[in-house]
Amino acid sequence: MNLVTPDVGLLFWTVIIFAIVLAILWKYGFPMITGMVEKRADYIDESLRQAREAEDRMKGLAQEQQKLLDDTSRQQSEMLREAAKTRDSIIQQAREEARKQSEDLIEKARIEIAAEKESAMRDIRRDVARLSVQIAEKLLREELSPEHKKAEYLDKVLDEVQTNK
């Protein structure tokens, strides 16, 4: 047997075995291999389609999230404006109420001052009248110490009272 040139019998059996192996592979191996390759290709295509759908959904979610953020921001701004209006309204009402209360207190103080003033004036008039009477009494006692002056003065007062009627 020569290593460089093969024998015809060996060549014949090698071709036969190769043909049998090729037929078996053609019948059972290649369809399975191509089926698996096609399955793998389908799986990859399906995965890519799902990835695109997921990406589209993520874009949609990102847009929805941005919309929600914008809505939330708008609502927050609106709530802050309403809170500021409410705060201003409460402050204005408090100022109004404080002004009204101060006016009421001032008015009450004026009335009390007027009443106290009137009371003081009455007290002063009463005191002045009493003092005047006391002074007049003392003066009249001194002037009318003699009896004849008392009688003259009484006559004079009686005449004035009768003429005034």
Tell me: the pLDDT tens digits for 74-119?
999 999 999 999 999 999 999 999 999 999 999 999 999 999 999 9
pLDDT value at position 70? 93
Confidence of residue 145 (pLDDT cuts 50, 70, 90): low
**Rounded to two decimals, what is the model's pTM?**
0.41
Query: What gap in Å lies between CA 163 and CA 45, rounded to an integer?
Result: 139
To the nearest whole number, what is the mean pLDDT of the chain? Answer: 87
Query: What gap in Å lies between CA 84 and CA 94, rounded to an integer?
Result: 15
Query: Cα 142–146–152 angle (5° rounding)?
Result: 95
Confidence of residue 48 (pLDDT cuts 50, 70, 90): very high
Question: How many Cα atoms occupy the beta-carbon half-sphere of 32 within 13 Å?
Answer: 6
Query: What gap in Å lies between CA 30 and CA 63, rounded to an integer?
Result: 48
